Structure 1
């Protein structure tokens, strides 16, 4: 009896603490409600948390859902899984349950959601493709595993939907997705040392979801997969070497979503450069091809050119007639000795500027004209890891090649880049001046020369290169902000 009176206050205190914890829960968080239930399943508060989570899962459902009788632990583990945890294995009953809960999501209206083989996928119109299903079919063989990843996406969309209502605007949806992905789930761009070696691991949807890390393409794919479930129309934009997504509010106003910077709205002009006048937009089917292109880049970097060719060829049906893809595939054909195939592809694009670019790439032309070699192409694309040794190695390769091919324009440009990386502006200037003598129609080169001449107190020479760049840009009606800044700097130093 005495023991009872001693333990009673402890029990009362514990119950009070549980009630306090329950009262502090975010009422719109499925994961927190389920986590509380997992900790206190046999308490009234735990049962309330479970009921609340179930109600949130059924938000926007036409009919009220009853609590299921099957074991909820795998579902709870899936919702609350941390990046380093092994994903729980859901049985078919649990997958069917999640599929039933998510049956109202918009991607269920797409024909692509019911496709289970690649040939049927290729036959679909672009607007009927379910991006997540399409990419998982490329990367995952087991249908049950595909359903597991889709179940995770469904639960993510349901959680975001629980914080929306029937009057929520598309901007509300964007804000809710940003909050959930970047702040609650903490998806991040991987550290430089990781993604440069394993960019493909941070591109494909399963790896991005498992690690909660992704490069621009990887997180954009995740974002688009969720957006399709929430009926949020987004555009895909690919500046050179990058990808981001945007929402078009009206013909004249867009909201950019920079997935490498937690979804902030970066001004569109920030993605432009001296030689990039406009931004290329892509469709959902092309995004599938871009995933193969990213993976091929890793094989190229590892000098596995046959595998790179295989991946580029897989991308071809999704990116028909794409000049960049044809150029990259053409180079890799050259690397493995299939010279006729490589030249054929390069001849197709030699007079064709890449989408959004002002001028044609010089490398295909120089190679076809005998002013560059296959080894020269390899040197231009050789990887540097920002260490002095790797930069010097690339520099030595280029210097050796330029002795044999002194009219190799991209060779001189990339030699200048290595000098910039080593903070050797004097040698960079020499390389760019040699390139200028070969070709004075490249606005980027003229801009760099103007900047270097200004730094070295040669304003008259700086003005000459500025005016040359301006003349080229004026023909294309292109006014990049960096040229305005250079003009102001020149006017302050040596006004005209």
Structure 2
């Protein structure tokens, strides 16, 4: 009989503990950002009041009329509560020890996975990631950061040229989290080498822990590209100009804005953005080539040829740069050089 009472006692204690783990408020409860209804409102908030997931859902609702953001935010809350209950059950604190459990829950149990390439614009949006359980580096990281802010974990977005990942940093323990590799960890040197991070400058955004607003700025950059993909240049322009305003030292945002300006015939503005982008990241062959295109449109053929050659110095296999170079030489009536460049392209 005594054993029966002890068993009942332990069951009651465990049930009460698990219930307590679920019922305590989440770390983001009461933040003003939860009640924001526009990106303009989000950008006026202090960093501590921003809720990244809510901001992402505002953008989702603007992208698609059928998205009801509050439903997805409730789903995120439930996921965070489930993770916290599991931590409580195993008597684990909500610190760096939570990361393996989050990874197991997200990538093994729920089977969230990375897409091989970011070709579908819908893969950017948090609602789509939750629905389809797939995304790319930025969108999976937004999911991870959204759970982190609900659990009170010190997680930060980190951007490098062409990639985005998450960093855990509580002031004592720091490590990177690669959301495209089931939450695995790689050292800073891996990212700096693989993504050709430019040498650190005082105002560089690369490899730095981003604020939530800066992370949102990276999201807006990709949003601008998504709007370009569906042929909505006006929405793309708004997103990219905001992205540059938030993160003026993110070369991708400036280069993408330059591309849009060039399409709109705003050649002077395009040249300005391309030059700024190359000041930040002088390793970007594509932007050298695009700057060459802008120079060509202005009739500055010598300058254009110089930019195409810089692009090819960085990337000798850059087919489009050879084609652009061939066109520039043809316009200068240097047909032999034009033919040589075209042969390289082929």
Give the alignment's TM-score, normalised by structure 2: 0.72
Any idea what SS the aligned residue of 2:111 has? coil
Please name the residue that 2:6 is paired with. Answer: none
The separation in 2 between residues aligned to 1:178 and 1:144, in whole angstroms, is: 27
Could you give the per-residue CA deviations for residues 412-459 of structure 1, whole angstroms, max 9, x where no partner exists?
9xx89xx9xxxxxxx69xx9xxxxxxxxxxxxxxxxxxxxxxxxxxxx
2:59 corresponds to 1:138: yes
Cα gap change, 1:57/1:362 in structure 2, threshold over 3 Å: closer, same or farther? Answer: same
Please name the residue that 2:93 is paired with. Answer: 168
How far the C-alpha of 1:168 sits from its partner, in A, is: 1.4
Cα gap change, 1:394/1:53 in structure 2, threshold over 3 Å: closer, same or farther? Answer: farther
Any idea what SS the aligned residue of 1:60 has? helix
Please name the residue that 2:4 is paired with. Answer: none
Cα gap change, 1:306/1:120 in structure 2, threshold over 3 Å: closer, same or farther? Answer: closer
**Structure 2 counterpart of 1:182, from 86, 107, 113:** 107
Q: What stretches of structure 2 of length at least 5 have no aligned partner? A: 1-11, 201-205, 312-316, 333-337
Any idea what SS the aligned residue of 2:158 has? strand
The separation in 1 between residues aligned to 2:17 and 2:115, in whole angstroms, is: 32
How far the C-alpha of 1:215 sits from its partner, in A, is: 0.4
Please name the residue that 1:280 is paired with. Answer: 207
Please name the residue that 1:438 is paired with. Answer: none
**Structure 1 counterpart of 2:323, from 388, 394, 397:** 397
The separation in 1 between residues aligned to 2:130 and 2:14, in whole angstroms, is: 22
Cα gap change, 1:329/1:150 in structure 2, threshold over 3 Å: closer, same or farther? Answer: same
**Structure 2 counterpart of 1:290, from 206, 218, 224:** 218
Any idea what SS the aligned residue of 2:168 has? strand
Please name the residue that 1:270 is paired with. Answer: 190
Q: Work out whether residues 289 and 318 of structure 1, in 8 Å CA contact, stay in contact via their aligned partners in 2.
A: yes
Give the alignment's TM-score, normalised by structure 1: 0.52
Please name the residue that 1:65 is paired with. Answer: none
The worse-fitting range, judged by mean Cα deviation, of 136-145 and 200-209 is 136-145
How far the C-alpha of 1:303 sits from its partner, in A, is: 6.7
The separation in 1 between residues aligned to 2:125 and 2:153, in whole angstroms, is: 22
Q: Work out whether residues 56 and 159 of structure 1, in 8 Å CA contact, stay in contact via their aligned partners in 2.
A: no
Any idea what SS the aligned residue of 1:107 has? coil
The separation in 2 between residues aligned to 1:321 and 1:179, in whole angstroms, is: 35
Of structures 1 and 2, the one with the larger relative CO (CA 8 A, separation 6+) is 2
Please name the residue that 1:443 is paired with. Answer: none
Any idea what SS the aligned residue of 1:105 has? coil
Q: Work out whether residues 57 and 159 of structure 1, in 8 Å CA contact, stay in contact via their aligned partners in 2.
A: no
Q: Work out whether residues 126 and 142 of structure 2, in 8 Å CA contact, stay in contact via their aligned partners in 1.
A: yes
The separation in 1 between residues aligned to 2:183 and 2:149, in whole angstroms, is: 17
2:52 corresponds to 1:125: no
How far the C-alpha of 1:364 sits from its partner, in A, is: 7.2
Please name the residue that 1:221 is paired with. Answer: 142
How far the C-alpha of 1:190 sits from its partner, in A, is: 2.0
**Structure 2 counterpart of 1:256, from 173, 176, 185:** 176
The worse-fitting range, judged by mean Cα deviation, of 162-171 and 316-325 is 316-325
Q: Work out whether residues 27 and 151 of structure 2, in 8 Å CA contact, stay in contact via their aligned partners in 1.
A: yes
Cα gap change, 1:397/1:305 in structure 2, threshold over 3 Å: closer, same or farther? Answer: farther
Cα gap change, 1:351/1:244 in structure 2, threshold over 3 Å: closer, same or farther? Answer: closer
Q: Work out whether residues 21 and 81 of structure 2, in 8 Å CA contact, stay in contact via their aligned partners in 1.
A: no
Q: Work out whether residues 372 and 405 of structure 1, in 8 Å CA contact, stay in contact via their aligned partners in 2.
A: no
* Alignment: residue pair count: 303
Any idea what SS the aligned residue of 2:166 has? strand
Please name the residue that 1:481 is paired with. Answer: none
How far the C-alpha of 1:211 sits from its partner, in A, is: 0.2
Please name the residue that 1:343 is paired with. Answer: 271
**Structure 1 counterpart of 2:247, from 306, 319, 322:** 319
How far the C-alpha of 1:214 sits from its partner, in A, is: 0.4
> Aligned-residue CA RMSD in angstroms?
4.1
Cα gap change, 1:228/1:405 in structure 2, threshold over 3 Å: closer, same or farther? Answer: farther
Q: What stretches of structure 1 of length at least 5 have no aligned partner? A: 1-50, 62-100, 381-390, 407-411, 420-426, 432-496
Any idea what SS the aligned residue of 1:140 has? helix
How far the C-alpha of 1:239 sits from its partner, in A, is: 1.3
Q: How does 1:21-100 map to 2 (within 5 A)?
A: 58-60=19-21
Cα gap change, 1:292/1:362 in structure 2, threshold over 3 Å: closer, same or farther? Answer: same
**Structure 2 counterpart of 1:352, from 261, 269, 279:** 279
Any idea what SS the aligned residue of 2:103 has? helix
Cα gap change, 1:364/1:311 in structure 2, threshold over 3 Å: closer, same or farther? Answer: same
